[in-house]
Structure 1
Amino acid sequence: MFLWQYLTLLLLPITVQICKAQRCEEFTDLDLSHAIIGTSLKLRLLLYTRHNATCGTLVSHSDLSKHPQFNVSRPTTFVIHGFRPTGSPPAWIQNLTKLLLARADHNVIMVDWNHGAANVNYFKAVENTRKAAENLTAFVEMMKVFEHSLRPPMCVACHPTNGPNRPQERGASLGSVHMIGVSLGAHLSGFVGANMNGSIGRITALDPAGPQFTGSSPENRLDPSDAQFVDVLHTDMDALGFREPLGHIDFYPNGGADQPGCPKTVFSGGAYFKCDHQRSVWLLLDSLNRTCASRVYPCSSYKDFLSGDCLSCDRFGAAGCPVFGYDVTEWKDVLLRLGQTKTFFTTNAKSPFCMTGYRVEVMVWNKELRFGYITIKLHGKGEEAVATIDHKAAEFKKYSETRLLAQFDRDIQSVKKVSLKFSTGNPLKAKQKLSVLRIRLTHLERKERPLCRYDVVLQQNDEVTFKPIPCEDSNF
């Protein structure tokens, strides 16, 4: 025994150097020439853990015992990219891996099928999703039956005390498997889930591909039955993405198309075609980073949401409406009971993407009917937030309450002043004024008393600033 301990101490410096010399595998980097020629499918699995967060390990498809750092008793997240028409690696790989590992001590496997996805022939890449899914299914099946040590080392040589008599544990729990699929990768995830009879824990689909999948039957695309819980984000439904709901909860930021900050004309180059589609990944990264939270609201249409007609969260109980992103599983039970839930929210043009919502109620005493748009500014200590309610002209009728939804670009914790501006959007007409009897602003998140102001006259296009007061229950 003493001899073994002595040898362990003697060999430790050598074995540590062996561990440090482990090769870091990189995502396959191809170029346009490969895509033009066409690539055949080759699936590579790159493992990242908290022990090798920046150094990918190429995982064997047939023998997990070669990778002692792969502890199947921990949750495993597979990240699956989509179509790669130029062959370049996705720009978000490192950041997504880092944020996933910061959230939990689990295995993150980057599914590299660039050989197969890099092809100017999109239809060939679609065909390869089925083959890649079969390969990945076989790997997950192997995880189920693999026996592993309960004390996984960084590498075996570094821990000679972890010998053959270490306690063993059999297999991975499919319920702890999470697949994050981007575009074609979303449907690929669905095929794996279907092969496993929907027993994997979760599929997160980031703007699932639309072309070749729209109108297809559930067995030929992602479907809620493919996992125990399926959450789907739609950001480019009018072009590269899928329009209809596909999960237990479907998120439609900014209506699911035309994301803010993305180019509006083809003269912007490649960004015009991919910006909306890629926004899905950046939104997920924001939620992982807990930069801020985006509350989502169930609604039949984006138009109704913008009009403030869908702000009730009663169906979700005390937790309120779900929050978009990685943590939506906190609402899993209620969402499974509700069936498919279609939700909407708005975002900023860049990170932090989350916006802050207020319910706005306006009562006027103009004799004649008024139609127009309202811009609201909230002033705090050295900061300002702006919301322009302009998706349609609001109707203002004497002694009738007009309800609006204001989405501010940031959250002002302590509002000192409020600015209002009324406009008609028609510079050819004579200037009008809006005689406001009362305006009330209610924060949708914080349980605090609404802010009010009484008897304000808004001249068209002129900004009026005032100090709001807390609304009283007795106020009309």
Structure 2
Amino acid sequence: MFLWQYLTPLLLITVQVCKAQTCDEFTDLSIHHSFIGTSLKTRLLLYTRQNSTCGKQLSHSNLSSVPEFNLSRPTTFIIHGYRPTGSPPMWLKNLTQLLIARKDMNVVVVDWNYGAANVNYLKSVENTRKAADNLTTFIELMQENGASLSSIHMIGVSLGAHISGFVGAKLNGTVGRITALDPAGPMFTGRPTDDRLDPTDAQFVDVLHTDIDALGFRKPLGHIDFFANGGTDQPGCPRTIFSGGAYFKCDHQRSVLLFIESLNRTCESRALPCSSYKDFLDGRCMDCHQFGAAGCPVFGYDVTDWQDVLVGLHQTMAYFNTNEKSPFCRENYRLDIVIWNQDTHWGYITIKLHGHGKEAVATINHKASKFRRYTETQLLAQFDKDIPSVKKISIKFSTGNALKQKYKLRVLRLRLTHLEQKHRPLCRYDILLEENTETTFRPIPCEDSNF
């Protein structure tokens, strides 16, 4: 009896400590659930700097049930999309922790896996409305308890992008920001604005498209719509069905990986506003004077630096290309070439930058470029990495026709200008390029005079 009197309080304390350390995890279902069907349940899991790796499930009726939920902080909601296998998103933990690292905020994972895990995609689409109603009610409760709607950021992936839009519309567009990562296309394409995401759903709506020819939405939906690699066929993703599941989801999922990279600031993907991907590749959209000293907008988390200008422009389409893997971003240069050959030539350019033991490559081969005597040919050169101090440049000209005689391109002037950095352009004068032969030289600062 004497021993029990001492053990009982100790056991009670142990139970309380265990309860305090219990973490709520994202719902993990299986393909079995997808086949038999599930009924929608929406769970809200809170992460903060105080519990960055341990989710706390929030009550839909009692906000004080989780002390870490501080409404004076900004709140970011992460809303996943269709989950046909029922498994948790592989990117969820990384995205959550990077958001918390960037700012002292509440990150709320909207777990609607019961409702998204269904082989019947149409059923999951139907559940987006119900999930949005549930989330709207919760945000209204936050507002009643002092939260500012302008400090709310919703990051919606695929179907989650349209859920964000539904919530934003119900709140009359007062939510601060919606970031839509490859919004779902099937069952939303061609629908009126009330049935999908649109720019009026938040004070600022930024959208990334990576799979517009399959699972994603093709047309603009926000104040700014970024199209990575034209919105289709992401580099490094498999091109044949024999690659298994990656063939179907790689392009679509790339949107999240690109956004994650913008959070960890590995590098910046500067996008060029343009009316089409073709014009972007042709180098017709390299002037960003409308954005002032800030230059062209950078894709990702920090695009809010351009928010005021973009909202004023109403809807902007912007393009950027990426590498196959992280770091995904490329460096944009304008390449100007003037030749003095008597005959007009058509061909492709490969250019390399060398410096401090590194090499960056840009291949301009989306179509044959036209080179005409004393006429400046302007090209967009996108290098796979940054070379802070260029010591040498290598360039190769080719026609792509192995059966015809080899040409020599007599270059009167080559000029290379970084589109973002304010360095003086690099030039070289009087170069002879033999077809399919790499020519290397040391560049010099360009002269002030123009041809």
TM-score class, shorter-chain normalisation, is over 0.9
Contact 2:282–2:379 at 8 Å: present in 1 too? Answer: yes
Name the structure 1 match of 2:66: 67
SS, match of residue 206 in structure 2: strand
Name the structure 2 match of 1:444: 419
Aligned runs of 1:423-462 on 2, under 5 Å? 423-462=398-437
Contact 2:332–2:382 at 8 Å: present in 1 too? Answer: yes
Contact 2:361–2:384 at 8 Å: present in 1 too? Answer: yes
How far does the alpha carbon of each residue in 1:30-61 deviate from its partner, in whole angstroms, 9 at most, with x for none? Answer: 11111111111011111000000000001111
Query: Residues of 2 paired with 1:475 and 1:125: CA distance?
Result: 60
Name the structure 2 match of 1:418: 393
Runs of 4+ in structure 1 off by over 2 angstroms are 14-22
Query: Residues of 1 paired with 2:130 and 2:108: CA distance?
Result: 18
| Amino acid in structure 1 at the alignment position of 2:413 | R
Query: Residues of 1 paired with 2:335 and 2:28: CA distance?
Result: 51
Name the structure 2 match of 1:158: none
SS, match of residue 21 in structure 2: coil
1:312 to 287, 304, 323: 287
TM-score by length of 1: 0.91
1:261 to 221, 236, 260: 236
Contact 2:154–2:177 at 8 Å: present in 1 too? Answer: yes
| Amino acid in structure 2 at the alignment position of 1:78 | F
Q: How many Å apart are 1:116 and its aligned residue? A: 0.4
The answer to whether the aligner puts 1:130 opposite 2:132 as a matched pair is no
How far does the alpha carbon of each residue in 1:424-452 deviate from its partner, in whole angstroms, 9 at most, with x for none? Answer: 11112221121111110001111111111
How far does the alpha carbon of each residue in 1:432-476 deviate from its partner, in whole angstroms, 9 at most, with x for none? Answer: 121111110001111111111111111111111111111110353
Name the structure 2 match of 1:142: 141
The answer to whether the aligner puts 1:244 opposite 2:219 as a matched pair is yes
Query: Residues of 1 paired with 2:126 and 2:16: CA distance?
Result: 44
Q: How many Å apart are 1:20 and its aligned residue? A: 7.7
Name the structure 1 match of 2:186: 211
Name the structure 2 match of 1:164: none
SS, match of residue 83 in structure 2: coil
Query: Residues of 1 paired with 2:266 and 2:356: CA distance?
Result: 21
Aligned runs of 1:31-180 on 2, under 5 Å? 31-146=30-145, 171-180=146-155
Name the structure 2 match of 1:346: 321
CA 16–461 in structure 1, closer or farther in 2 if over 3 Å, else same: farther
Query: Residues of 1 paired with 2:312 and 2:374: CA distance?
Result: 41
Name the structure 1 match of 2:262: 287
Query: Residues of 1 paired with 2:425 and 2:18: CA distance?
Result: 60
Unaligned runs of 5+ in 2: 1-9
Q: How many Å apart are 1:18 and its aligned residue? A: 2.6
Name the structure 1 match of 2:174: 199
Query: Residues of 2 paired with 1:462 and 1:240: CA distance?
Result: 42
SS, match of residue 321 in structure 1: coil
Query: Residues of 2 paired with 1:335 and 1:405: CA distance?
Result: 24
Q: How many Å apart are 1:381 and its aligned residue? A: 1.2
Query: Residues of 2 paired with 1:261 and 1:44: CA distance?
Result: 35
SS, match of residue 108 in structure 2: strand
How far does the alpha carbon of each residue in 1:307-335 deviate from its partner, in whole angstroms, 9 at most, with x for none? Answer: 11101111112221111100111111111
SS, match of residue 71 in structure 2: coil
Name the structure 1 match of 2:339: 364
The answer to whether the aligner puts 1:233 opposite 2:232 as a matched pair is no
| Amino acid in structure 2 at the alignment position of 1:195 | K
How far does the alpha carbon of each residue in 1:88-139 deviate from its partner, in whole angstroms, 9 at most, with x for none? Answer: 1000011001100001111000011111000010000000000000011110
Name the structure 1 match of 2:298: 323
Query: Residues of 1 paired with 2:348 and 2:136: CA distance?
Result: 54
The answer to whether the aligner puts 1:466 opposite 2:441 as a matched pair is yes
Query: Residues of 2 paired with 1:17 and 1:282: CA distance?
Result: 39
CA 281–244 in structure 1, closer or farther in 2 if over 3 Å, else same: same
Name the structure 2 match of 1:336: 311
How far does the alpha carbon of each residue in 1:124-161 deviate from its partner, in whole angstroms, 9 at most, with x for none? Answer: 00000000000111100111112xxxxxxxxxxxxxxx
Query: Residues of 1 paired with 2:293 and 2:311: CA distance?
Result: 17
Query: Residues of 2 paired with 1:46 and 1:465: CA distance?
Result: 57
Q: How many Å apart are 1:16 and its aligned residue? A: 12
Q: How many residues align?
A: 441
SS, match of residue 110 in structure 2: strand
Aligned runs of 1:291-302 on 2, under 5 Å? 291-302=266-277
Query: Residues of 2 paired with 1:16 and 1:441: CA distance?
Result: 68
- Sequence identity, in percent? 72
| Amino acid in structure 2 at the alignment position of 1:137 | T
**What CA RMSD, in Å, does the superposition of the two structures yield over aligned residues?**
1.5
Contact 2:295–2:420 at 8 Å: present in 1 too? Answer: no
Query: Residues of 2 paired with 1:179 and 1:468: CA distance?
Result: 47
Query: Residues of 2 paired with 1:142 and 1:275: CA distance?
Result: 37
